């Protein structure tokens, strides 16, 4: 009986110690996770400050381009027992998907530009038209298909597992995966560097940070010209007039939605502490005479 009692006590003690060790590891992991999250948020706040500082000196530097301080990716920097890193990615040099539908109403001019961009990226004109229609039906305020194919809620409800169109703007480019026709990861990868999902008011394209394809689609030319794109050629256009002066003469271009400044930025902050790593991203909107507003942020 004594031996049995001793064995029982030893077993209970072992279980208690094991549970205690698990609890300590669990609490330690939660602490590391919390610290890493604060570091990631700190990286995002530093990005807000960098964009504000860039705006503060705008009286002498009135353009946003790839050579500015905010555009430099910050590698992991040590901080006490952890590391913090950050990156700011301009969104105003990309085609804004939310510009296709403004306040629930279709914007035909922006739809044409989007379909033109898809063609320039190697997509057939017929597929580009289908994709444009599907995306408009995903965001517009009615439930009436825009084209011959049903890309409204009836089609999505008839396919189990599909999300129903929210009849609202996209929150992020990744939401495209839910739209009929955009399911192919290769298609999304092809679009990723050329499109954004910011508030519909963001129509202006920063020609200093746009790809040749986005510029060509925006102004209405058939072939992308890398020499016009500051993002590829490190050319800085001091004004829209400066950009227009470099265009070939004899052709009518659409230049009303061009700019040399940016309003929207995607910020990615990464924090590491102990064994935990947290990666966060947020969308910032530049504000006059103050730090940029955080429109949203999320953990990845």
Q: How far is 112 from 102, CA to CA, in rounded Å?
A: 15
Query: Is the Cβ–Cβ distance between 236 and 63 less than 8 Å?
Result: yes
CATH code for the domain of 158: 1.10.40.60
Is 79 within a domain? yes
Q: How far is 55 from 62, CA to CA, in rounded Å?
A: 8
Last-in-domain residue among 171, 194, 217: 194
Q: What's the structural domain count of the chain?
A: 2
Is 230 within a domain? no
Is 251 within a domain? no
Please indicate, yes or no, whether residues 142 and 188 belong to a single structural domain of this protein.
yes
Give the DSSP letter of residue 226. Answer: G
Q: Which domain holds residue 149?
A: 97-194
Buried residues in 229-250 as b, exposed as e (16+ CB within 10 A): bbbbeebbbeebeebeeeeeee
Last-in-domain residue among 173, 194, 215: 194
Provide the residue count of the chain. 300
Print pLDDT tens along the chain (300 aa): 555 444 444 444 444 444 444 444 444 578 899 999 999 988 888 888 999 988 887 555 589 998 898 998 888 888 888 899 989 999 999 999 999 999 989 999 999 999 999 999 999 999 999 999 999 999 999 888 888 888 889 999 999 999 999 999 999 999 999 999 999 999 999 999 999 999 988 889 999 999 999 999 999 988 888 877 766 667 789 999 999 988 888 778 888 899 999 999 999 999 999 889 999 999 999 988 889 999 999 988
Please indicate, yes or no, whether residues 73 and 112 belong to a single structural domain of this protein.
no
Please indicate, yes or no, whether residues 81 and 155 belong to a single structural domain of this protein.
no
- Assigned token pair, 230: 């500051």
Is 18 within a domain? no
Full-model pTM: 0.86
Please indicate, yes or no, whether residues 180 and 124 belong to a single structural domain of this protein.
yes
Please indicate, yes or no, whether residues 102 and 190 belong to a single structural domain of this protein.
yes
Sign of the torsion angle spanned by Cα atoms 231, 232, 233, 234: positive
Backbone angles phi, psi at 191, to 5 degrees: -85, -25
Is 13 within a domain? no
Please indicate, yes or no, whether residues 70 and 106 belong to a single structural domain of this protein.
no
> Count of CB atoms within 10 A of residue 93's CB?
28
CATH code for the domain of 51: 3.30.1300.30
Q: Between vectors from CA 174 to CA 67 and to CA 37, what angle results, nearest 5°?
A: 70
Please indicate, yes or no, whether residues 150 and 176 belong to a single structural domain of this protein.
yes
Q: Between vectors from CA 235 to CA 231 and to CA 239, what angle results, nearest 5°?
A: 100
């Amino acid at each position: 009986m004594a031996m049995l009692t001793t064995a029982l006590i030893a077993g209970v003690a072992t279980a208690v110690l094991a549970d205690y060790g698990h609890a300590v590891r669990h609490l330690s992991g939660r602490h590391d996770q919390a610290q890493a999250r604060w570091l990631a948020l700190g990286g995002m706040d530093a990005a807000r400050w960098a964009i504000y500082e860039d705006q503060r000196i705008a009286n002498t530097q009135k353009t946003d381009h790839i050579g500015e301080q905010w555009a430099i990716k910050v590698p992991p920097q040590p901080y006490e027992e952890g590391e913090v890193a950050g990156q700011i990615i301009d969104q105003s040099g990309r085609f804004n998907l939310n510009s296709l539908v403004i306040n629930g109403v279709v914007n035909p001019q922006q739809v044409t530009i989007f379909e033109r961009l898809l063609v320039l990226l190697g997509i057939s004109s017929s597929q580009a038209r289908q994709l444009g229609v599907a995306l408009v039906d995903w965001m517009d305020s009615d439930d009436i298909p825009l084209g011959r194919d049903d890309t409204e809620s009836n089609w999505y409800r008839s396919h189990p597992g599909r999300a129903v169109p929210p009849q609202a703007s996209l929150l992020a480019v990744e939401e495209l995966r839910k739209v009929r026709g955009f399911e192919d990861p290769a298609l999304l990868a092809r679009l990723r560097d050329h499109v954004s999902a910011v508030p519909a008011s963001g129509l202006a394209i920063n020609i200093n940070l746009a790809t040749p394809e986005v510029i060509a689609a925006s102004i209405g030319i058939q072939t992308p010209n890398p020499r016009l794109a500051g993002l590829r050629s490190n050319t800085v256009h001091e004004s829209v007039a400066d950009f227009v002066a470099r265009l070939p003469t004899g052709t009518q271009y659409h230049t009303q939605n061009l700019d040399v400044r940016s309003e929207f930025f995607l910020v990615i902050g990464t924090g590491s502490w102990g064994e935990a790593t947290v990666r966060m991203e947020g969308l910032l909107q530049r504000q006059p005479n103050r730090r940029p507003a955080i429109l949203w942020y999320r953990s990845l």
